[in-house]
Structure 1
Amino acid sequence: MNLMLYLAVVLIWGTTWIAIFLQQEAAATPVYVAVFWRFLLASVVMLVILKLFKRLRSLDRRDHLFCMAQGCCVFGFNFVCFYHAAALISTGLESVIFSMAVLYNALNSWIFFRQRPSARLLPAAVLGLGGIVALFWHDIQAAHPAPQLLWGVGLSALGTLGFSFGNMISTRHQRRQRDVLTTNSYAMLYGAIVMLMMALLQGDALAPALNLQWLGAMSYLALFGSVLGFGAYFTLVGRIGASQAAYSTLLFPLVALTLSTLYEGYQWHNNAIVGLVMILAGNMVMFVRWPANRKVRLA
């Protein structure tokens, strides 16, 4: 059962990147509108399920304010960055940059919760940053690197930073023993509301694109990427612990880059392979803590 949950998280979250590309390819929907529909659907489904199974917990006003902040960070503006970046660089490369969130989390935990970073942080950061440079070296060494490359990398890094801030808010919830599924559901709803407000301020048309590819990609992102992905992940956290469950993030770039190669025509170079290996090694140095006397069980 644990192995099935683990593989579900890797496959679902590893494929959401290409779903973003397919949604954008299907129709020129404004980004705020696309993100709005994704998390509106996801939040409604989550809240209904929690209500039916009597798992929806009450939150006070302060908790709701933090959920709103979490929604802006994790289910709102960070995805605005990712959606814009997907038009500039391949979604596989986006996922690789996103895998560096563990380093952001280590630094932000130090800043916000006074949790001193592990001694592993420096070598992990060196490997990770060096890997990103190697991954993009083929484009960087050009006499005039394409501006869209730099914008794509910067937006992906900014979106990952927003995701990390959302993780810090989630840590705040858990320290106060707030139910994770409840806070995530409300955060999705608030993120959708904020995206709606931004779309209205820009005068964007709110109607979804009525074609099968756009609706299919959006539904996949909402129901699989958000509802089932988070559900499987947090179930796994409860069964084997957060540290072991988080090993799944090490495999996201492998799935995403494979799909990017097949559907976006991503071209592999030797330096790209070296860069990917360095980034994954940096994450393993920082993230994986092998038990001294026992093996992690996924069966």
Structure 2
Amino acid sequence: MGALLYGFVILIWGLTWIAIKYQLGEVPMAASICYRSAAAALLLFAYLALRRRRLRFGLRDHVRMAAIGTLMFSVNYLFVYAAEQHISSGLVALVFAMTLPLNVVNSAIFLRRPIGRMVALGAVVGLGGMALVFWADLSAFDLTGGTTLGVAQVFAGAMCFSLGNVVSDRAQAAGVPIVQTEAYGLLYGAALLAVIAALTTGFGFDLSVPYVSSLGYLVVFGSVIGFGLYLTIIGRIGAQRAGYVTVLFPVVALLASTILEGYVWTWYALAGTVLIVAGNALINTRPEVLKSLLRHRREPLRRR
């Protein structure tokens, strides 16, 4: 079941990169993200009301939910959307994959969880794979124009997302339900975005089919289902390992781009994909299992 949840999140979020493209343009970024978060929150609260789930929580729980909403459902997206105006989506995906090592470091700092060797090794292998996949973007990188700003914005978004992972990990450890956390988090995030939009760019809406349909996908799949599954994964395997999703879903985005946009694969991209999968295997294989596999492989050699 854990692997199935993991796969669904990778698939759903891998396709959101295509949907986000249709959100950029006529409607201000803060407004678009606000619509997405508000609509997702309404759907979740409707579900919770129908199921008569608990909706009253203490102040400490609401503070955690507000922090998750700010870090994961609003400010994070503002940084990422803004960065796509300065750098390619490939480089955005590569820099956002820094969520993985940031999760490892932040979990060690704030949750006092030791950094496992396999997690660290898998992170290095996976990030090396990402560098190969997006080698063209890296080789063309320079510090002129808005490139530096774009990279800084994505890194800031990745840091927000990582800190949100840590808060979610702690909230679940304290017994705060996942669906309610997501619902209130989206509501708080939408409220913050509404204030930002009102004070800066204002609102607007695009009734075109591409905008409305992509917004629908981002609301139902990207936010309600995607984040619900991801928060569940954090509760099951911790923020350290869950962060590897950010390394895997760009590969799905490339596969979608191959079909929909004519992306041409290179040997660098193929080799990088292999390393990403290998890094995922290292991170999600328990040390005792790996030791057992190595032991079984050594025994036949000794018999010879």
Do the aligned partners of residues 173 and 247 (structure 1) sit closer, same or farther apart at CA in structure 2, a change above 3 Å counting? closer
Name which of structure 1's ranges 115-124 and 180-189 shifts more when overlaid on structure 2: 115-124
Matched, 1:63 2:61: yes
User: 1 CA distance for matches of 2:264 and 2:210?
Assistant: 25
Residue 201 of structure 1: which of 179, 199, 202 is its match?
A: 199
Instruction: Output aligned runs, 1:46-57, within 5 Å.
Output: 46-57=44-55
Q: What does residue 298 of structure 2 align with?
A: none
Residue 282 of structure 1: which of 257, 279, 282 is its match?
A: 279
Instruction: Output aligned runs, 1:13-28, within 5 Å.
Output: 13-24=13-24, 27-28=25-26
Residue 158 of structure 1, CA deviation: 2.3
Do the aligned partners of residues 7 and 128 (structure 1) sit closer, same or farther apart at CA in structure 2, a change above 3 Å counting? closer
Instruction: Output aligned runs, 1:1-299, within 5 Å.
Output: 7-24=7-24, 27-142=25-140, 144=142, 147-202=145-200, 204-232=201-229, 241-242=236-237, 246=242, 249=245, 251-264=248-261, 266-289=263-286, 292=289
Do the aligned partners of residues 262 and 85 (structure 1) sit closer, same or farther apart at CA in structure 2, a change above 3 Å counting? farther
Residue 91 of structure 1 contacts residue 257 of structure 1 at CA under 8 Å; is this kept in 2? no
User: 1 CA distance for matches of 2:186 and 2:275?
Assistant: 33
Q: TM-score scaled to structure 1, two decimals? A: 0.81
Deviation digits for residues 190-237 of structure 1, max 9, x if unmatched? 0111111111111x2323222221111111101111112234556788
Do the aligned partners of residues 77 and 177 (structure 1) sit closer, same or farther apart at CA in structure 2, a change above 3 Å counting? same
Deviation digits for residues 227-268 of structure 1, max 9, x if unmatched? 122345567889xx547x959936422211112344455454
How many residues of Structure 1 are paired with residues of Structure 2 in the alignment? Answer: 288
- % same residue: 36
Query: Unaligned regions of 5+ residues in structure 1, if any?
Result: 295-299
Q: TM-score scaled to structure 2, two decimals? A: 0.80
CA RMSD of aligned residues (A): 3.3
Say which one has the larger Rg: 2
Return the letter of the residue paired with 1:184: E
Query: Unaligned regions of 5+ residues in structure 2, if any?
Result: 293-304
User: 1 CA distance for matches of 2:188 and 2:271?
Assistant: 40
User: 2 CA distance for matches of 1:14 and 1:56?
Assistant: 32
